[in-house]
A and B are shown apart, each in its own frame.
Chain A
Amino acid sequence: MSTYAYYPGCSGLGTSQEYESSTRAVCRALGVKLVDIPDWSCCGSTPAHTVDHLLSSALAARNLALAEDLDAAAVITPCPSCLTNLKVAVHRMSDREFRMQVNKLLDKPVDRSTPVKSVLQVLAEDVGPETVAEMLPHKPLAGLKVAPYYGCIMNRPPEVMQFDDHENPMAMDNLMAALGAEVLPFPLKVECCGASYGVARKDIVAKLSGKLLQAAEDLGAHAVVTACPLCQMNLDLRQGQASSAAGHKFQLPVFYYTQLIGLALGVPQSELGLSKLCVNPRLALDAMHAVQAEKREQEAKKEAAKQIHKAKAA
C-alpha cells in the first residue's frame, strides 16, 4: 500500500482527539501508511476563507508544498473542513495567475499538484469495504443499527470534492456494512447540522441537529456515525441542547466511523477513545450485544432442537 502524507488538522489535537487517535490506529491496522507533514500549520478553517480567498488558499497551500517532499500518493486528512480548504486551494490554483499569487506569499512554492483526499476516501476506495469484510469474517458489529451521517461538505460541491454521490453518499454505509452493522437508509445524510453556528446561534444548531437526531431515532438507530469533528460535536456534546429544543430527550451515541472500525478490528480502548464521547456509547454497544446474545440463544435453541430430533430418531 502506498504512503500518504497525513494532515491531522487542529481539532484532531483538541476537540476530536479520539477521531485522531482512532484514525491513526485504524490506518495502521489496515496497512495504510501515514507520514505526518512536517511543521504543518492550520488550514485557515472557516475564518480565513470568509475574509480572503487568497489568504485562505495560501494557508492551505503551505501544507501542500511541505507535503511534496514526502513523495506521497496523496495528502489525506480526516477532517472534512480541512479537506475542503485543501481541495478548494488546489481547485483555485488550477488558474495560473492565482497560483502565482499564492506562491508569492509562500516561502516554498507549490510545484506539483498532489491529490488531496479524505481518510474516508482512502479507506473506501484504496482499501475498500471488501478487504475490511475479509478481515472480519465474524462480523463483529452484527446487530448494531447505525445511521451514517456525512455532513454537508464531505461530498460537496461535487466539482471540487469529486468523491462519492453528493446527494446520496455510500462510502461510510459500505464500510459499516463490512463490519456487520445494520446500516439504516438515513435520509438526511448530507443535511447541515448547523456547523459553527453553535457559537453564534445556538438555537439554530439545536434545531437542525435535533432534526437529524429525530430522523435517526425514528429509523430505530442505536447510534449515529460521523466523519466530521464539528458534526460529531454538535450531535454529541450539544445533544442536551437539541433535546431541550425538541422537548424530547435524545439518547443516541454519536461515533466517529473510525471508532467503530477500530472497535471491530480490536484496536485498544486507549486509542479508540470511546470514553471521550458525551452520550454514553454503552447504550449502543449494549443494544448490539443484546441482539447478538439473542441471536446466539436462538441458534443454540435450534441446535438443541436438532440434537433432540437426532436423539429421538436414533
Chain B
Amino acid sequence: MKIGVFVCHCGSNIGGTVDAARVAEASREFPDVVFTSDTMYACSEPGQDGIIQAIKDNQLDGVVVSSCTPRMHEPTFRRTVERAGLNRFMFEMANIREHVSWIGKDKEANTNKAIELTGIAVEKLRRDQPLFAKQFDINKRVLVIGGGVAGIQAALDCADGDREVVLVERESTIGGKMAKLDKTFPTVDCSSCILGPKMVDVAQHPKIQLYAMAEVEEIGGYVGNYEVKIRRKAPYVNWDLCTGCGLCMEKCPSKKSTDRFNEQVGSTTAINIPFPQAIPKKAVIDPKFCIKLTKGKCGICAKICPTKAIVFDQREEIISESVGAIVAATGYDLFDISKYGEYGGGRLPDVITGLQYERLLSASGPTGGHVKRPSDGKEPKTIVFVQCVGSRDKSVDRPYCSGFCCMYTAKQAILTKDHIPDSSSYVFYMDIRSPGKMYDEFTRRAMEEYGTQYVRGRVSMIYPQGDKLMVRGADTLMGTQVEVEADLVVLAAGAEAAVGAPQLAEKLRISYDKYGFFMESHPKLRPVETNTAGVYLAGSCQGPKDIPASVAQGSAAAAKVLALFAKDKLENDPMISLVDMKRCVGCGKCVRVCPFGAIKEIDVRGEPKAEVIETVCQGCGLCTATCPQGAIQLSHFTDNQILAEVNALCQL
C-alpha cells in the first residue's frame, strides 16, 4: 500500500503553534507512507490540486490529511481523492487544529501530538477498504406536519413544484396562530385577509391531501421511504356530506363548549365551525359538551342538518401514507400566564393574554371586533400591556426571548387607539426588541403618533380595586414606583414549544432542546435541516418566530424537499453495520438495541440470525458495542481498525 500524508498550516491557525513541516517529515517514517508534504491551505483549490497531483505522480492508494475537524472538511477531501480516482473511503483525517493547535501554546508538545495523531490516522488507513454506496428509489411525496402559516407555505411550495403533499393538522381547520390574529405588524393588514387565500389554495390544490383533526401516530422508514400512520380523530360529522352551512351551530342547545379558536374568550356551541374562513369549513362536535354524546338525548343537529351529515357513532381511524420527506411545522403554544400568581392571570377575568386580545380586536371574534372586557362587557378606557410574561425570565425557566411580543404589543396598542380613540395605553417593557424591516419605525409610531405610554420596568403585582385593576410596577428610568388604574390588562405571553413537541420529535427521531423546540442541523448553515435525513423544519417549532420568518422557513424547507426529490435515486451511506453470519448466535440483542429498527431477525437453515437492512442503518454503532460475539462490525470503524489506532498510539 502507498500512502500520502498532507499536513495543513491552515494559515497561522495550525502553523502558529504546530511545526507542520516537522510533522510532514516525521510522517515519512510511518509504515506504507511514500509521500508527505506540508501545505498552507489543504482545502484551497491549489491545495486540493496538489493532493490530486501527488496521488497521480506516486500512484498512492490512500491519503491522510492532517488539518481541521472532519466535521468541517471530510466531505471536501473525500471528493478530492475521488476526483483522483481513489475510493472516497481510502481517506483519513487527523484533527490537529481543534484537538491540538487551538488548545495548546507549547509548540514542541503540539508538534509531537500532531505527529502521533497523524500516525494513528495512517494505521487506520492501512486497514481501510473501499466502500460503495447502494442506490435506492425515492418516494417523491412529502408529509407536512402542521397547518399554520409555515406548514401552509411549505405545502404550497412543494405542491407548486409538482410534488404530492400530505398535510396533517391537529385542529379541525388549518391557519394556526396566524388565523387568530386580527392584524399583522408592521403593515397592519388584516391577518385573515392575507392568510385566507393561501388556505383556500391549500384546499383547492390538486396535489395537496389535507387531513384536519389528525395527528401523526407513528413514523417508520428512512429518507426517501417513510411510512407514516396518521390518527384521524372523529368529528362526529361526515365531512364528505357537510357543506359548512352552519345551521347546526345556530340550533345547538349546548352553548358552554370550550371555544379553542377564540382562546376561550367566551364559550361556543358543542357543534362548531371555528371561524367563517375555516379550511376545511366543516362542523365538528365536541364530545365533552354534546348533550347527545354525554346524555344520549338531543340530536337536534342531526334533525336539522340538510345533508344528514351528523354521525354520532363515528370512530377515529388510522390512515397509512408513504412519503419520501417530512416537514415538521408544528408551531408553538403560549406560556401559561397563571404561573405568575402576582399577575392574577386565570384568576382575574380582565387579565388576558395577547392572543385573547387579538380575538377581542378581530371582527370575526366573540365580540364582533368591539373591545369589551371579559368581566362585565364594558369598553375599557385604560389598557395596560405587560411584556415579557414568560419570556426572558429564568425564574419560570423561560430565559429565552420570544422575539415577537414587542412588536405585537406595539401593534395592539395602535389598534386599541383605533378602536377606542379616547383610550390610553401603557406598555411595561424591559427592552424593546424590534430588529426587522420597518419594525423599529413601527414601535416608534406606537409611542409618537399613537401616544402609547411606554414604561421601562417590570410589573410586580396586579390586584382588583372596585371594578378596576391596579397595576403596580417600577419605572426604572424615573427611579420610582408607579401604579396604573387599568380597566384591562393584556399580558404579552411568551412562546413555548407546542404541546406534544418532544413526543413528535421522538417519533421523527430528531433532537429537541430542553424547552422542547426542535434542533436544526446547524444553527447558522443548516437552519431547516435536522440531523435525520429527509426531515426538515419550518416555523416556530424550531424556536419562536414571527410571520415573515416562518414563511421564509416554510419556503426554505420546501426548497430542500424539492432538491431532494430532484434526484431519482438516493445513495445510502456505506458506513453501516454488517453481520458476520458465522459468528452470529441469534441472541437478538442488536435487534432490541437498534434505535432505527434497522436490524431484523431472519431464519438461516433453522437458526435465528441478525440481518441489517442496509438502507435503514444509520451507522450509529450501538449494535456493534452490544453484540457479545463481535459478530456485527461497523464498516469503516471495525474493531480491528480501532484497535490498530490504539496500538499505534501506545507504541509511539
Quick check: A187 and B341 within 8 Å, CB to CB?
no
A82 CA to B635 CA in the complex, in Å?
69
Given contact pairs A165-B341, A167-B341, A187 touches B466 in the complex (Cβ within 8 A):
no
Q: In the complex, how many angstroms separate the beta carbon of B339 from the nearest chain A beta carbon?
A: 10
Q: In the complex, how many angstroms separate the beta carbon of B484 from the nearest chain A beta carbon?
A: 15
Quick check: A167 and B342 within 8 Å, CB to CB?
yes
Q: What residues of A have a CB within 8 angstroms of the CB of B341 in the complex?
A: 165-168
Instruction: Fill in one digit per residue for A107-130: 1 if any B CB lies within 8 Å of its CB, else 0.
Output: 000000000000000000000000
Quick check: A188 and B347 within 8 Å, CB to CB?
no
Task: Say yes or no for A218: interface residue by CB 8 A criterion.
Answer: yes
Quick check: A215 and B465 within 8 Å, CB to CB?
yes
Q: What residues of B have a CB within 8 angstroms of the CB of A165 in the complex?
A: 341
Q: What residues of A have a CB within 8 angstroms of the CB of B344 in the complex?
A: 168
Q: Which residue from chain B places its CB closest to the CB of A165 in the assembled complex? A: B341
Q: In the complex, how many angstroms separate the beta carbon of A230 from the nearest chain B beta carbon?
A: 21
Q: In the complex, how many angstroms separate the beta carbon of B348 from the nearest chain A beta carbon?
A: 9
Instruction: Fill in one digit per residue for A180-201: 1 if any B CB lies within 8 Å of its CB, else 0.
Output: 0000010110000000000000
Q: In the complex, how many angstroms separate the beta carbon of B193 from the nearest chain A beta carbon?
A: 41
Quick check: A218 and B466 within 8 Å, CB to CB?
yes
Quick check: B465 and A168 within 8 Å, CB to CB?
no
Task: Say yes or no for B464: interface residue by CB 8 A criterion.
Answer: yes
Task: Say yes or no for B463: interface residue by CB 8 A criterion.
Answer: yes
Q: In the complex, how many angstroms separate the beta carbon of A56 from the nearest chain B beta carbon?
A: 26
A166 CA to B341 CA in the complex, in Å?
8
A43 CA to B164 CA in the complex, in Å?
75
Q: What residues of B have a CB within 8 angstroms of the CB of A188 in the complex?
A: 463
Q: What residues of A have a CB within 8 angstroms of the CB of B463 in the complex?
A: 187-188
A185 CA to B464 CA in the complex, in Å?
9
Q: Which residue from chain B places its CB closest to the CB of A169 in the assembled complex? A: B341
Q: In the complex, how many angstroms separate the beta carbon of B482 from the nearest chain A beta carbon?
A: 16
A168 CA to B345 CA in the complex, in Å?
12
Selected contact of B347 from candidates A166, A168, A215, A218, CB within 8 Å: A168
Quick check: B464 and A187 within 8 Å, CB to CB?
yes
Q: In the complex, how many angstroms separate the beta carbon of B350 from the nearest chain A beta carbon?
A: 13
Q: What residues of A have a CB within 8 angstroms of the CB of B466 in the complex?
A: 218
Q: Which residue from chain A places its CB closest to the CB of B470 in the assembled complex? A: A187
Q: In the complex, how many angstroms separate the beta carbon of A293 from the nearest chain B beta carbon?
A: 30
A167 CA to B465 CA in the complex, in Å?
17
Q: In the complex, how many angstroms separate the beta carbon of A208 from the nearest chain B beta carbon?
A: 13
Q: In the complex, how many angstroms separate the beta carbon of B259 from the nearest chain A beta carbon?
A: 26
Instruction: Fill in one digit per residue for B527-539: 1 if any A CB lies within 8 Å of its CB, else 0.
Output: 0000000000000
Q: What residues of B have a CB within 8 angstroms of the CB of A166 in the complex?
A: 341
- Interface residues contributed by chain A, number (CB under 8 Å): 9
A166 CA to B342 CA in the complex, in Å?
9
A166 CA to B347 CA in the complex, in Å?
14
Q: Which residue from chain B places its CB closest to the CB of A167 in the assembled complex? A: B341
Instruction: Fill in one digit per residue for A80-100: 1 if any B CB lies within 8 Å of its CB, else 0.
Output: 000000000000000000000
Q: In the complex, how many angstroms separate the beta carbon of B55 from the nearest chain A beta carbon?
A: 65
Q: Which residue from chain A places its CB closest to the CB of B472 in the assembled complex? A: A191
Q: In the complex, how many angstroms separate the beta carbon of A186 from the nearest chain B beta carbon?
A: 9
- Interface residues contributed by chain B, number (CB under 8 Å): 8
Quick check: A187 and B465 within 8 Å, CB to CB?
yes
Q: Which residues of B in the span 452-473 have a Cβ within 8 Å of any Cβ on A? A: 463-466
Instruction: Fill in one digit per residue for A151-195: 1 if any B CB lies within 8 Å of its CB, else 0.
Output: 000000000000001111000000000000000010110000000
Q: In the complex, how many angstroms separate the beta carbon of B72 from the nearest chain A beta carbon?
A: 46
Q: Which residues of B in the span 337-365 have a Cβ within 8 Å of any Cβ on A? A: 341-342, 344, 347
Instruction: Fill in one digit per residue for A284-307: 1 if any B CB lies within 8 Å of its CB, else 0.
Output: 000000000000000000000000
Q: Which residue from chain B places its CB closest to the CB of A185 in the assembled complex? A: B464
Q: What residues of A have a CB within 8 angstroms of the CB of B465 in the complex?
A: 187, 215, 218
Q: Which residues of B in the span 434-468 have a Cβ within 8 Å of any Cβ on A? A: 463-466
Instruction: Fill in one digit per residue for B322-349: 1 if any A CB lies within 8 Å of its CB, else 0.
Output: 0000000000000000000110100100
Q: In the complex, how many angstroms separate the beta carbon of B342 from the nearest chain A beta carbon?
A: 5
A24 CA to B223 CA in the complex, in Å?
73
Q: Which residue from chain B places its CB closest to the CB of A189 in the assembled complex? A: B463
Q: In the complex, how many angstroms separate the beta carbon of B93 from the nearest chain A beta carbon?
A: 49
A166 CA to B340 CA in the complex, in Å?
11
Q: Which residue from chain A places its CB closest to the CB of B466 in the assembled complex? A: A218
Q: What residues of B have a CB within 8 angstroms of the CB of A185 in the complex?
A: 464
Q: What residues of A have a CB within 8 angstroms of the CB of B464 in the complex?
A: 185, 187
A185 CA to B344 CA in the complex, in Å?
12
Q: In the complex, how many angstroms separate the beta carbon of A184 from the nearest chain B beta carbon?
A: 11
Q: In the complex, how many angstroms separate the beta carbon of B235 from the nearest chain A beta carbon?
A: 39
A168 CA to B466 CA in the complex, in Å?
18
A218 CA to B347 CA in the complex, in Å?
20
A168 CA to B342 CA in the complex, in Å?
8
Q: What residues of B have a CB within 8 angstroms of the CB of A187 in the complex?
A: 463-465
Q: In the complex, how many angstroms separate the beta carbon of A160 from the nearest chain B beta carbon?
A: 15
Q: In the complex, how many angstroms separate the beta carbon of A80 from the nearest chain B beta carbon?
A: 19
A215 CA to B466 CA in the complex, in Å?
9
Q: Which residues of A in the span 212-249 have a Cβ within 8 Å of any Cβ on B? A: 215, 218
Q: In the complex, how many angstroms separate the beta carbon of A188 from the nearest chain B beta carbon?
A: 6
Q: In the complex, how many angstroms separate the beta carbon of B256 from the nearest chain A beta carbon?
A: 23
A166 CA to B344 CA in the complex, in Å?
12
Q: What residues of B have a CB within 8 angstroms of the CB of A215 in the complex?
A: 465
Instruction: Fill in one digit per residue for B476-515: 1 if any A CB lies within 8 Å of its CB, else 0.
Output: 0000000000000000000000000000000000000000
Q: Which residue from chain B places its CB closest to the CB of A187 in the assembled complex? A: B463
A188 CA to B462 CA in the complex, in Å?
10
Q: In the complex, how many angstroms separate the beta carbon of B346 from the nearest chain A beta carbon?
A: 10
Q: In the complex, how many angstroms separate the beta carbon of B486 from the nearest chain A beta carbon?
A: 14
Q: In the complex, how many angstroms separate the beta carbon of B30 from the nearest chain A beta carbon?
A: 55
Q: Which residues of A in the span 250-264 have a Cβ within 8 Å of any Cβ on B? A: none
Q: Which residue from chain A places its CB closest to the CB of B462 in the assembled complex? A: A187
A185 CA to B342 CA in the complex, in Å?
14
A167 CA to B459 CA in the complex, in Å?
14
Q: What residues of B have a CB within 8 angstroms of the CB of A167 in the complex?
A: 341-342
A168 CA to B341 CA in the complex, in Å?
7
A188 CA to B483 CA in the complex, in Å?
15
Q: What residues of A have a CB within 8 angstroms of the CB of B347 in the complex?
A: 168
Q: In the complex, how many angstroms separate the beta carbon of A150 from the nearest chain B beta carbon?
A: 13
A167 CA to B466 CA in the complex, in Å?
20
Q: Which residue from chain A places its CB closest to the CB of B347 in the assembled complex? A: A168
Counting chain B CB atoms within 10 Å of each CB, the highest count among A167, A185, A218 belongs to A167
Q: What residues of A have a CB within 8 angstroms of the CB of B342 in the complex?
A: 167
Q: In the complex, how many angstroms separate the beta carbon of B628 from the nearest chain A beta carbon?
A: 44
A167 CA to B338 CA in the complex, in Å?
11
Q: In the complex, how many angstroms separate the beta carbon of A77 from the nearest chain B beta carbon?
A: 25
Q: What residues of B have a CB within 8 angstroms of the CB of A168 in the complex?
A: 341, 344, 347
A165 CA to B344 CA in the complex, in Å?
12
A167 CA to B346 CA in the complex, in Å?
13
A235 CA to B344 CA in the complex, in Å?
25
A215 CA to B470 CA in the complex, in Å?
12
Q: Which residues of B in the span 364-404 have a Cβ within 8 Å of any Cβ on A? A: none
A261 CA to B463 CA in the complex, in Å?
28
Counting chain A CB atoms within 10 Å of each CB, the highest count among B342, B344, B463 belongs to B463
Q: Which residue from chain A places its CB closest to the CB of B469 in the assembled complex? A: A187
A13 CA to B458 CA in the complex, in Å?
42
Q: In the complex, how many angstroms separate the beta carbon of B163 from the nearest chain A beta carbon?
A: 53
A167 CA to B347 CA in the complex, in Å?
11
Q: Which residue from chain A places its CB closest to the CB of B348 in the assembled complex? A: A187
A215 CA to B465 CA in the complex, in Å?
7
A188 CA to B466 CA in the complex, in Å?
13
A22 CA to B464 CA in the complex, in Å?
33
Q: In the complex, how many angstroms separate the beta carbon of B394 from the nearest chain A beta carbon?
A: 14
A165 CA to B464 CA in the complex, in Å?
18
Q: In the complex, how many angstroms separate the beta carbon of A86 from the nearest chain B beta carbon?
A: 25
A188 CA to B464 CA in the complex, in Å?
9
Q: Which residue from chain A places its CB closest to the CB of B464 in the assembled complex? A: A187
Listed by A's residue number, 9 A-B pairs whose Cβ atoms lie within 8 Å are A165-B341, A166-B341, A167-B341, A167-B342, A168-B347, A187-B463, A188-B463, A218-B465, A218-B466
With A187-B465, A218-B466 given, name 7 new contacts (CB 8 A).
Answer: A166-B341, A167-B341, A167-B342, A168-B347, A187-B463, A188-B463, A215-B465
- Which 5 residue pairs across A and B have the least CB separation, nearest first? A167-B341, A187-B463, A167-B342, A187-B464, A168-B341
